[in-house]
């Protein structure tokens, strides 16, 4: 169980800090309104993230207790999803800063985004099914890991809001973007391989 801490942390960091609806919209709102006025939106995202993580952990726990043979399948689904995320970094982006639809800037908008955010829902299912024994086989571990992952999401969206314009302009160049994607893909694949071996 101990060797899984590194893949868990790597997967959580890479998935949380790479571009997605939370980070892109936080960055856009941060650029438009400033960091402090983005905080209610970030608060909504954080609460929604916590709810999704708790629900994912509970769902995985119930499924694994009711159907003991299902957990190994969840692990391979997690491996496949991590591999897909690595590949998807090189596919054409469907959401750029200019194409992102305008959303509300408040707490409720951030919360609702989470409840409809497929990246976060898949992330929750993948992380809790792949690392079940490590982070959710007891109520204490489930609560602790959910809070940890929600806080990690809060740090990520805050960072994107703070550095939105600078970060966006830094990665606008093709070479910088390609280098960033290669590093993220290597980290995701190494996490998937490590998970598959344990």
Give the tokens for residue 45: 């995202």
Give the tokens for residue 14: 């890479």
Q: What is the pLDDT of residue 34?
A: 76
Higher pLDDT, 37 or 63: 37
Q: What is the pLDDT of residue 148?
A: 96
In the chain, the percentage of residues whose pLDDT exceeds 90 is 19
What are the tens digits of pLDDT across the range 120-144?
877 888 888 888 888 888 889 999 9
Give the tokens for residue 145: 């890991």
- Could you tell me the maximum CA-CA distance found in the chain, to the nearest angstrom? 50
Higher pLDDT, 108 or 105: 108
Beta-carbon contacts of 24 under 8 Å, excluding residues fewer than 6 positions away, are 95, 97, 100, 160
The residue with tokens 């509970």 is 58
For the chain, the distance separating the N- and C-terminal CA atoms, rounded to the nearest angstrom, is: 8
DSSP annotation of 105: -
Task: Give the closest residue to 117 by CA, choosing from 75, 160, 56, 169.
Answer: 56
Q: Quick one: average pLDDT of 37-41?
A: 89
Confidence of residue 183 (pLDDT cuts 50, 70, 90): confident
């Amino acid at each position: 169980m101990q060797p899984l801490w590194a893949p868990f942390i790597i997967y959580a960091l890479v998935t949380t800090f790479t571009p997605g609806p939370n980070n892109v919209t936080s960055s856009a709102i941060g650029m438009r309104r400033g960091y402090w006025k983005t905080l209610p939106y970030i608060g909504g995202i954080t609460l929604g993230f916590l709810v999704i993580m708790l629900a994912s952990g509970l769902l995985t726990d119930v499924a694994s207790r009711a159907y003991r043979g299902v957990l190994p399948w969840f692990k391979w689904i997690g491996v496949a999803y991590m591999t897909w995320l690595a590949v998807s970094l090189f596919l054409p982006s469907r959401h750029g800063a200019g194409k992102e639809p305008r959303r509300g800037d408040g707490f409720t908008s951030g919360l609702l985004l989470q409840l409809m955010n497929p990246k976060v829902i898949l992330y929750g299912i993948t992380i809790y099914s792949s690392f079940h024994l490590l982070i959710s086989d007891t109520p204490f571990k489930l609560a602790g890991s959910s809070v940890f992952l929600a806080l990690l999401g809060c740090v990520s969206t805050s960072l994107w809001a703070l550095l939105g314009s600078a970060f966006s302009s830094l990665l606008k160049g093709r070479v910088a973007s390609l280098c960033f994607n290669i590093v993220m893909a290597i980290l995701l694949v190494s996490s998937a391989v490590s998970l598959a071996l344990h």
